[in-house]
A and B are shown apart, each in its own frame.
Chain A
Amino acid sequence: MTDEMPVTLEGVSYLYGKGALSKQILYDINAAIQAGEIVILTGPSGSGKTTLLTLMGALRSAQQGSVKVLGHELNRARDRTLVRVRRQIGYIFQSHNLLESLTIGQNVQMGLKLDPAGGRNARQRIADVLDRVGLGEHIHKHPGQLSGGQKQRAGIARALVNRPRIILADEPTASLDKQSGRDVVELIQELAREDGAAVVLVTHDNRILDIADRILHLEDGHMKPLGEAVAEGASRMLNLLGKHEPGTASYLAAFSFALARVAHADDVVTDSERAQMRRILHDVAHLETSEVEFIMELSMMQHRAHDSSGMGAEHNALLAERQDHFVESLFTIAGADGEVDDVEVAEIRRIAAEFGLQHSRFAGN
């Protein structure tokens, strides 16, 4: 039981409505979430991520597939089972959802539910968990007297007071400003780590994605590889930049290109070197922190391309086919204007040599 995955999804499909009016929201979702893992579920609105979360939370039942949570199969489960599973899950809601008529302490007490173990030391547990989220002194206040961030922290305390093995959070930062949002997810991360709980967090707030151990990306009800999502998102944003601020776009592109050439020339980039680069870009080139990060990431991308551990040795077996595709596509691109001339072939050879790529076409010459 203990080594079982807290959440296992197999071939899960979900439809809203019935008959001709039904609309499929999720298609054949497979996923497993381990204990102690923080999984972020992202995707545009309407992609079905919240529906997936409610399936894991025993709040809905899928029409097809299997949803196993804490050892219980939830599909076609009885209400009693659903309620029992819900009690073992900590929920963190988009807008805290605290009970306005209760004090913070009482709200957290509601999180203890009907736990018989709660009884005697319930008070202590409530006080402890409020201390952990930094609301110890607000235990007797009502939600109306707290700020948005404090309310969300109280909601987290309520979700955690029962020591759940699974924490489900739906857009916990949506109603918060940048700093409070950051504080809240870091708090969730820290507390979940301490308790060894699995966390599934739904968000489309890109600023908090870095706390995840794993990112599941949903689009129109399909689980998508992260690479696709990132490529699509990044290219769309770069396109936008090129269209609206072409000057900035070329400036940043040039910087990153130059940076990749200059700084990564010796093929070894240490952390201290990177810190140095960041400082220089900020102080000398007068770039904003976010722009510095952007340039760094772009140059790192180029650097990664040269890194032998990327396309090269390590995943050779897996990537042999990709290498073929890569070189083949370069030849095709070169031939798009009618013929492949020598200059183009020479350039392709140079690139292949640089990246250490093998191809049958090179064998002849």
Chain B
Amino acid sequence: MARLLPLGWLQLKHQKLRLFAAIMGIAFAVILITVQLGFSKALTVSAVRYHSAMDYELVMVSPKTTYLVSTKQFPRSRLYQAPGFEGVDGVTAVYTQQGSWRDPADRTSARNIFAIGFNPSQRGFARLLTPAQHELIKLPDRIIFDRRGRPEYGPVAALFESNGPYEVDINDRMPILAGLYSLGTSFGLDGGVITSDLNFLRAFPKRDKSSIDIGLIHLQPGADPQQVQREIIAGIPRDVRVLTREEFKTQEIDHWSKTTPIGYIFTFGAIMGLVVGFIIVYQILFADVQDHVREYATLKAMGYTHGYLRGVVLQQSVVLAVLGFIPGIAVSILVFGKAAEATGLPLSMNLRSAGFLFLLTLFMCASSGILALRKLRSIDPAEVF
């Protein structure tokens, strides 16, 4: 029965206070990494909320457009060329602009809001608005508000639910809030309203009707988006870009994670977490080896190999990884819940992310264990005598 003893674990277990400190340290590192990566992921997920919620197979944008919050306009006539290509079923012109919204409960505070205008007879917003809402915004000065926007817009949804439609202040005009949709915030957008193209132009009188921001292109069933994309690009002037859904999303994500400091900050935070964890585990393992130099030299004298001792230290690093990961991930999930509530950002943990984080923790612990092994190599069994 008596096989090889789990010496690494027994050594750790023997010094309970140190083990506890190690677990706390690793848990802290795991929390740091998880939260940073969680925010980083929330950044990318939230940045493409509208990209994902709208229906389209291809999209036409200005080459100057790098992200949704500040789209550049392009001629609507360019979009209307698209239906001429084979496989294209129809198009939807979309206007977007940051408007100024006043809190219905406190008119003194104004806040930017993302406004979208499209022709409600056309397709593209079935996942955001109900068919009834599509009909409602065909009426003049009717808008639909994102109930999951930031609370700073005021108790908009609560007022709507208790009083029904009421006048709201957008760009110092008074359209009627006719309904609510549900999407959420991102790092660039605090909230949004959707209305018809005509109502949009009423709210933004300076906008040119023939210049649009986003052109949604709907394909016939079975058409290959990339094939059609190639044909359109080949057939129209180069003053617009035609992107697939994936490319459109990637462009937005790249903007946030690569050209703004936000993405960098989160990546940096995650790396810092990794480094902190690495140092903590290294310190713990190094001290542990240091404390047991005499014992390990004794084992070497008794005929245990360097490989055996290496196994002991690596076993310790794996044990620490597992024991630190569990509380770390548990606290992270709690933090995510609170933070998602406070920011409206999509912070969540799934099995795949958890698995990735565990592997990261394992890597962190194992690599610091390998570094601590250098101390082991210097142990001379003859010194125990």
> Which residues of chain B from 288 to 323 have a CB within 8 Å of any chain A CB?
292, 294-295, 298-299, 301-305
How many residues belonging to A are interface residues under a CB distance threshold of 8 Å? 34
* Contact across chains for B385 and A109 when beta carbons are under 8 A apart: no
Verify if B359 is at the interface (C-beta below 8 Å from A): no
Which A residue's beta carbon lies closest to that of B298? A97
Q: Is the CB of A123 within 8 A of B295?
A: no
CA distance A271 to B323 in the complex (A): 70
Q: Is the CB of A106 within 8 A of B385?
A: no
Whether the Cβ atoms of A122 and B1 lie closer than 8 Å is yes
Which A residues, 105 to 128, have Cβ-Cβ distances below 8 Å to chain B? 106, 109-114, 118, 120, 122-123, 126
Query: CB distance A87 to B2 under 8 Å?
Result: no
- In the complex, are the beta carbons of B302 and A111 less than 8 A apart? yes
- How many chain B residues touch the partner (CB < 8 A)? 24
Contact B295 A126, beta carbon cutoff 8 Å? no
Does B11 sit at the interface, judged by CB under 8 A? yes
Query: For the complex, is A59 an interface residue (Cβ under 8 Å from B)?
Result: yes
Residues on A with beta carbons closer than 8 Å to the beta carbon of B13? 101
Q: How far is the CA of A5 from the CA of B302 in the complex (A)?
A: 21
Whether A100 contacts B295 by the Cβ 8 Å rule is: yes
Q: Among the listed A60, A86, A97, A122, which residue makes an inter-chain contact with B2, where contact means beta carbons less than 8 Å apart?
A: A122
Partner of A86, one of B4, B301, B385: B301
Flag if A109 contacts B301 (CB, 8 Å): no
- Alpha-carbon separation in the docked complex, A207 to B298 (Å): 27
Query: Is B159 an interface residue when CB atoms closer than 8 A count as contact?
Result: no
Task: Find chain B residues with CB under 8 A from A60 CB.
Answer: 382
- Nearest B residue to A49 via CB reads B385
Which residues of chain A are near B305, meaning CB under 8 Å? 83
A93 contacts the other chain (CB 8 A): yes
The reply on B139 being an interface residue by CB < 8 A is no
Tell me whether A114 and B382 are in contact (CB under 8 A): no
Can you spell out 22 A-B residue pairs with CB atoms less than 8 angstroms apart? A57-B301, A59-B385, A83-B303, A84-B303, A86-B381, A88-B303, A89-B303, A91-B301, A97-B294, A99-B7, A99-B11, A99-B298, A100-B14, A100-B295, A101-B10, A101-B11, A102-B5, A110-B302, A111-B302, A113-B303, A113-B304, A123-B2
Supply 18 further A-B pairs (C-beta < 8 A) apart from A94-B385, A122-B1: A54-B382, A57-B301, A83-B305, A86-B303, A87-B302, A87-B303, A88-B303, A93-B298, A97-B295, A99-B7, A99-B298, A101-B10, A102-B5, A110-B302, A113-B304, A122-B2, A126-B2, A170-B385
